[in-house]
Structure 1
């Protein structure tokens, strides 16, 4: 049976490709999407998800309105130079497409309905997931099968500051709450997601045959994303798809190597904001909630799987 997934996201090119990947993957049953601020504002994120679901004929998937600002209430920064003004690179979703947006308590209804059959995947800012824990309580939220969270960076450079990754930096208070309360949680930091490189050659392989309604969109938004990354990381061969790798992990956990760590998140402004901290000494001094942290990945497995899934037709179970 396909794995039931509730996805928290903020599309964004990377998130959009992750949604497409989930819709095309016969091993994933996407039951709902929580749309939040992050790469774009929450309203635009919602429109982008509705557009992708419309293209795939999947308007049955529940759309839930998530957070519009960080828990601190501060102004959220967006990244049009990376994701485009509307979050899909050069694509402007038709304004006529509007998804029916359910209230936040629809999250808890899905948890009650699916219980330990459900995995929650969070590839955006942690705000909406932290709010979920604060509203429903840890017992309810941890009654599901587990959590796959994209965020953080350990003993390597960040991608927003010298030490911080974008999701944790965007709302460090929320990231800290999630790391403290989540059970059966697996964290996918930059250590592995920075290696989720997809190249133009792979994209050209994907669009050789028109097997699904997303293939032209995939090329257009990837090309935009790749040009942005070429400016950010001169000489890079492709673009890292952090969010897609986190969904890849749902069905292919064996492609990774893991450790268990207590993870805390820096809250101060400046160099420590959003920095993920864990004790990697031979004899760590660890007290608190442990999460599983992915530190290595088989990149060949990821690349081959991505090309295969994105080249395929929408599976029967996802129509």
Structure 2
């Protein structure tokens, strides 16, 4: 899992740690919603709460391939990325060298990479060893907005806006890629009442922090989207569709991400009726079965055994 937590990234890590059908074999920490330093501390805190500190925590990128200083989003995720929560000082988050990514690939031939952050670290892995990255079974990427407004500009979603060079490098060179854009993830809304129900019925320390961080996230979203009743968990939707691929509708198209300053991060695909499917087996989720998503999210977070998918 490549990530930059961030509230929805953090909840996605919780989901991955609690899902009985997911074996999380490594986490790459990078810049994105906040600095790599804060993202790393947040991941380490979640692993500590879950009692899973044996999962490798790997150091990723600190800025995009353009070299520009990244923009962070404390107004959405809080100053340190977990809303009102600050991990205790004894949580350090010691990072392993990035080469650990390739060791994990060698150990796990049936591996899926899930990237819910900026794609810089994934592109860096390609530059360092394209052959090893080519061994990956499949990729699930949260990013993009197709024929729908962005969330960081009028055109662009935050992950693809953050490093369009990296996204294009990845899309041009690899196959079996699933993109989960705002078209689907914006529909994965969780309310304060749902979070409250989970916290009241769960029996694990990891979920104990869910209520304050989701409350913070929802309050931030209400300022951005007047009338919204909750907040979309973009990165959790990405994992949900990995484990439940029939719970959304997708279309196969080749994709390009704009790099020009004015339209930076805009997701481009040909959706005309006679356009051709992707030559590289790139699939884009355009919709989500919301009721099934909510049902699954509650079951996983509470800890009910939903079976291996």
Q: State the TM-score bracket (shorter-chain normalisation).
A: over 0.9
Q: Secondary structure at the match of 1:296?
A: coil
Runs (4+) off by over 4 Å: 285-288
Match of 2:227 among 202, 213, 235: 235
Contact 1:36-1:42 within 8 A present in 2 as well = yes
Which residue is equivalent to 2:294?
303
Match of 2:165 among 162, 167, 173: 173
Q: Following TM superposition, by how much is the alpha carbon of 1:100 offset from its aligned partner in structure 2, in angstroms?
A: 2.8
Q: 1:1-319 maps to which residues of 2 (within 5 A)?
A: 7-115=1-109, 117-137=110-130, 139-270=131-262, 272-284=263-275, 289-312=280-303
CA separation in 2, counterparts of 1:287 and 1:53?
Answer: 37
Distance change >3 Å, CA 287–CA 293, structure 1 → 2: closer
Q: Following TM superposition, by how much is the alpha carbon of 1:182 offset from its aligned partner in structure 2, in angstroms?
A: 2.3
Q: Secondary structure at the match of 1:92?
A: coil
CA separation in 2, counterparts of 1:162 and 1:288?
Answer: 29
Contact 2:253-2:278 within 8 A present in 1 as well = no
CA separation in 2, counterparts of 1:86 and 1:140?
Answer: 34
CA separation in 2, counterparts of 1:183 and 1:78?
Answer: 30
Structure 2: state its 5+ residue gaps: none
Contact 2:252-2:282 within 8 A present in 1 as well = yes
Q: Secondary structure at the match of 2:57?
A: strand
281-290 or 126-135, which deviates more: 281-290
76-85 or 277-286, which deviates more: 277-286
Contact 1:263-1:290 within 8 A present in 2 as well = no
Structure 1: state its 5+ residue gaps: 1-6
CA separation in 1, counterparts of 2:276 and 2:15?
Answer: 39
Q: Following TM superposition, by how much is the alpha carbon of 1:210 offset from its aligned partner in structure 2, in angstroms?
A: 4.3
Distance change >3 Å, CA 131–CA 205, structure 1 → 2: same
The count of corresponding residues between Structure 1 and Structure 2 is 307
Q: Following TM superposition, by how much is the alpha carbon of 1:177 offset from its aligned partner in structure 2, in angstroms?
A: 1.0
Task: For residues 152-203 of structure 1, give each alpha carbon's deviation from its aligned partner in whole angstroms, at most 9, with x where no partner exists.
Answer: 1111111111111100001111111111122111000111000010011111
CA separation in 2, counterparts of 1:209 and 1:198?
Answer: 16
Structure having the higher strand fraction is: 1
Contact 2:202-2:301 within 8 A present in 1 as well = no
CA separation in 2, counterparts of 1:249 and 1:287?
Answer: 19
Structure 1 vs Structure 2 CA RMSD: 1.7
Normalised TM-score (structure 2): 0.96
